[in-house]
Amino acid sequence: MHGKVWTKVIKCKAAVLWGPKQPLSIEDIEVAPPKAFEVRIKILAAGICRTDDHVITGALSTNFPVILGHEATGIVESIGEGVTTVKPGDKVIPLSIPQCRKCSSCINPNGNFCLAMNVADDGVLSDSTGRFTCKGKPVYRFARNSTFTEYTVTSELLVAKIDAAAPPEKVCLIGCGFATGYGAAINTAKVTPGSVCAVFGLGGVGLSIIMGCKASGASRIIGIDTNPCKFERAKSVGATECINPKDHAKPISEVLKEITGDSVEFTFEAIGHPETIIDALASCHESHGTSVVVGVPPLSKMIAYDPMLLFTGRTWKGCCFGGWKTKDDIPKLVSDFMAKKFDFDQLITHVLPFNKIHEAFDLLNKGESIRTVLIF
């Protein structure tokens, strides 16, 4: 099966977004063979993350037409020249952040923002061309990834080989939402045992933050969401109580001060709104609190804040993909899942075939799903 197949273009189905605010369109596309140091992957399962929706709504800009999706599991179908870390048949998670092991980010033990690829992903591979075409037009990739397609091509630096026995329809969440939230608590905030935490936004990322706070031994974890339907799941993964901002006239930072006696040490924003990013900062303890920005705000939005919020001693941090060193840490997170250190029973609310991708986005936008996993 693998022989010389790798030299051929593959024709397959993909969900193409031709422009912002348009419906996703299932199209026949061509996927070029991997070039040197690239890998072509057959996608098995892909989760839907709010970041994908940000592109559909126009809140996040990218080149069009584009294939979205960045939270998946797949099998290596073929490899280009020079690839040594994966081979055809390996089960993998495609990554949005590379790990080159050489740059100043990779050699430092803190942080994970590998400089091997520019932050502004312009939707092409390192030779400045893409590997997808549809109706004769080049189609860009998204988040250095693109997984709403039966096949994708990516750099070897953006592929993590995982346990062959891992269930693809579950561990795909380690490709974004789970790893992002769990790592924000464990790696970025470094939540301490007995601490008080507050999590703004109880979607897939927020629930994973709660799981990370709980695993770190936090004694009180307060979930905040304007949709009270999210509270039950938040409690079942570890929230000790939940607050709906709509029930309060004052900012949540003031509500938290009152109910905790001013003891919130760690706060997290997993919504992506400038106002909640600032209120989450104001919510952590003024002398020793830490607030982590996880939500992705619209690109054009700048944030104004009172410097006194930091002057008193607060720490304000951000993280991309939970701070994990991707190629090294993602296989370990999959092993932890296999060892039952955590499960995704509360995170995966729906499983649908790939051709029901529109239904999956409707469920997200109606606030009914946490994560929908598409099966190919």
Point out which residues bind Zn ion (CB under 5 A): 49, 51, 100, 103, 106, 114, 116, 176
Helix (H) or strand (E) holding 132: strand 132-134
Closest alpha carbon to 60 in 361, 307, 295: 295
What distances in angstroms separate CA 270 from CA 151, 203, 349, one per listed residue?
Answer: 30, 8, 19
Q: For residue 145, how far is the Cα from the chain centroid? A: 11
Q: How far is the CB of 121 from ligand PAD (least distance, A)?
A: 13
**Residue 215 touches which of ligand PAD, Zn ion, none (CB < 5 to 8 A by kind)?**
none
d(CA 21, CA 249): 33
d(CA 143, CA 70): 6
**Residue 106 touches which of Zn ion, ligand PAD, none (CB < 5 to 8 A by kind)?**
Zn ion
Of the candidate spans 129-137, 151-159, 232-240, 268-276, the one that interacts with ligand PAD by CB under 6 A turns out to be: 268-276
Q: Does 186 bind ligand PAD (CB under 6 A)?
A: no
* Per-position x/- string for 301-330, each x denoting binding to ligand PAD as judged by CB under 6 A, each - no binding: -------------------xx---------
Q: Are 363 and 350 in contact (CB under 8 A)?
A: yes
**Residue 100 touches which of ligand PAD, Zn ion, none (CB < 5 to 8 A by kind)?**
Zn ion
What is the token pair recorded at 341? 């250190």
Q: Does 292 bind ligand PAD (CB under 6 A)?
A: no
Number of C-beta neighbours around residue 28 at 10 A: 11
Phi, psi of 195 (to 5 degrees): -80, 165
Q: Does 69 bind ligand PAD (CB under 6 A)?
A: no
Q: Does 295 bind ligand PAD (CB under 6 A)?
A: yes
Residues of span 85-144 touching ligand PAD by CB under 6 A: none
**Residue 244 touches which of Zn ion, ligand PAD, none (CB < 5 to 8 A by kind)?**
none
Rg (CA), the chain: 20
Q: Are 239 and 199 in contact (CB under 8 A)?
A: yes
Q: How far is the CB of 165 from ligand PAD (least distance, A)?
A: 26
Of the candidate spans 31-39, 114-122, 219-227, 353-361, the one that interacts with ligand PAD by CB under 6 A turns out to be: 219-227
**Residue 205 touches which of ligand PAD, Zn ion, none (CB < 5 to 8 A by kind)?**
ligand PAD
Q: Does 226 bind ligand PAD (CB under 6 A)?
A: yes
- Which residues does 346 contact at the CB level (< 8 Å), separation at least 6? 207, 233, 236, 237, 370
* Residue in the structure block whose two tokens are 């690829």: 117
**Residue 116 touches which of ligand PAD, Zn ion, none (CB < 5 to 8 A by kind)?**
Zn ion
d(CA 123, CA 146): 9
d(CA 88, CA 76): 5
Q: How far is the CB of 203 from ligand PAD (least distance, A)?
A: 2
The residue from 225, 309, 363, 372 that contacts ligand PAD (CB under 6 A) is: 225
The residue from 142, 200, 344, 361 that contacts ligand PAD (CB under 6 A) is: 200
Q: Does 291 bind ligand PAD (CB under 6 A)?
A: no
User: What secondary structure does DSSP assign to 189-256, as a single string?
Assistant: I-PPTT-EEEEE--SHHHHHHHHHHHHTT-SEEEEE-S-GGGHHHHHHHT-SEEE-GGG-SS-HHHHH
Q: Does 170 bind ligand PAD (CB under 6 A)?
A: no
**Residue 227 touches which of Zn ion, ligand PAD, none (CB < 5 to 8 A by kind)?**
ligand PAD
**Residue 20 touches which of ligand PAD, Zn ion, none (CB < 5 to 8 A by kind)?**
none
By CB under 6 A, name the binding residues for ligand PAD: 49-51, 54, 176-177, 180, 200-206, 224-227, 230, 245, 270-273, 276, 294-296, 320-321, 367
